[in-house]
Amino acid sequence: MGQGPLEAQVNGVPAEEQRWLGAEARAHYLRRSSGPISNPSEFDRQALGLFSSIENCNSDIDEKIAGLHECWQQEGFLARFWDWNKLQTTWQFMASKLIGRDRKMGKTNGMWQLRCNWNRLMLVTNSGKHSGFEMAPGWIGPAPLAPREVDAPGVM
């Protein structure tokens, strides 16, 4: 169901949509945590850090996903189940919202890329290996802004 090779869409992710995704994912994750997290686990801290990186369009998103996977693997059975549930429901909720936003925008390549990026969250809990969802090989964010040239007086 792709709209072309992912590599061709490197510069197409809308920054404002990625910022929205990070903020909304964090809000949903916190709701799934039965209210405000007064004593967050290491997994919670790392998940919230991942959502902040997405919101800020940072370049460390893949590293945060890998770190969250390592943290999840080291947890006990009940903690793993609870964290899988929080992350899975956040992924599902936001994936459906992304599809709706993509439809409103006219199914753009940038939104398709963002959805493929978002599917990378399934790697945290090994849910993505057999999911059948298109997954980006690495998080491809918005194109960096070109540096603005400034005319400064007296500078040559």
In this prediction, what percent of the chain has a pLDDT beyond 90?
58
Whether 138 is in a domain gets the answer no
Position 72 in a domain: yes
Please state which of the ranges 1-10, 105-114, 140-149 shows the lowest mean pLDDT: 1-10
Would you say residue 81 lies in a domain? yes
pLDDT over 80 at 155, yes or no? no
Q: Specify the residue for token string 């370049």.
A: 59
pLDDT at 148: 55
Question: Does a structural domain hold residue 141?
Answer: no
Q: Look at 22-36, 41-55, 70-84 and tell me which has the smallest mean pLDDT.
A: 22-36
In a domain, 150, yes or no: no
Domain annotation covers residue 4: no
Please say if the pLDDT value at position 37 is more than 90. Answer: no
Nearest to 142 by CA among 21, 1, 25, 2: 21
Residue 152 resides in a domain: no
Q: Name the pLDDT band for 71 (thresholds 50, 70, 90).
A: very high
46 closest CA partner among 133, 130, 125, 144? 125
Domain count, the chain: 1
Domain that holds residue 94: 11-123
Report if residue 154 sits inside a domain.
Answer: no
Tokens encoding 45: 């801290």
How far, in whole angstroms, is CA 9 from its chain's centroid?
A: 17
CA dihedral angle for residue 138, residue 63, residue 145, residue 94, rounded to 10 degrees? 70
